[in-house]
Amino acid sequence: MATALTDDIDILATAKRNIGGGYVPADDEPYMSDAQLDYFRRLLQAWKRSILDASAGTLQQLQDGPLREPDLNDRASSETDWGIELRTRDRQRKLIAKIDSAIRRIEEGEYGYCEVTGEPIGIGRLQARPIATMTVEAQEAHERREKVSRDD
C-alpha cells in the first residue's frame, strides 16, 4: 500500500504535468516575476483540484462499499484500510488549507519569501514544495527548536 507522502508527491507530479504551457521557472530570471507567480498559482490550483478529485473518489467508494464483511478477518482488514484512507484524506484536507494560504500569499505579493527572515525561499524549494513558507535554513532552525521543546 502506498504511503500518504507518496500519494502527495504523485498528486503534485500529476498537477505539474497538467498545468501545461511548457514554462518552468528558472533561477536566472527575476525572482517572483509575473511568469513565475502565474506558474505557481496554476500549479497550486491544479494540485488542489487533483486532491479534491481523489477525495471525491474516496467518498464514492465509502458510499458504494460493503458495510459489513461476513468474515471477521476480512472486516478487520477492510476497516484498517478505510482508516488509513480516511487519515490520508484528513491530511490532504489540511494540505488544501495550506494550498489556499499559498494562493492568498501570491495574491498579496508575499509568496516566495520566508515568513521568518523575509529572504527568498528559492525556486528549487518552491518547485519541490510549493506551499513552503520558510527557507531551508529557517525551517531547520524551527524544527530544532520544536524538537528541543518536545524533549523538555
* CA 37 – CA 105 distance, rounded (Å): 10
Per-residue pLDDT, 19:
80
Q: Is residue 30 a part of any domain in this protein?
A: yes
With respect to residue 32, please indicate whether it lies within any of the assigned structural domains: yes
Could you tell me if residue 44 is inside a domain? Answer: yes
75 found inside a domain = yes
- The rounded distance, in Å, linking the Cα atoms of 118 and 81 is 43
Specify whether the CB–CB gap between 121 and 132 falls below 8 A: yes
Give the Cα-Cα-Cα angle 62, 64, 70 (nearest 5 degrees): 90
Domain of 56, in residue numbers:
4-113
- Mean pLDDT of each 10-residue bin along the chain, 152 residues long: 59 79 88 95 93 76 63 76 81 93 97 96 95 96 87 67
- Cell 527572515 maps to which residue? 117
Cα torsion through 56, 59, 65, 67, rounded to 10 = 180
Q: From the CA atom positions of the chain, what is the Rg in Å?
A: 19
Q: How many domains does the chain have?
A: 1
pTM of the model: 0.78
Question: At 36, which CATH number?
Answer: 1.20.120.910
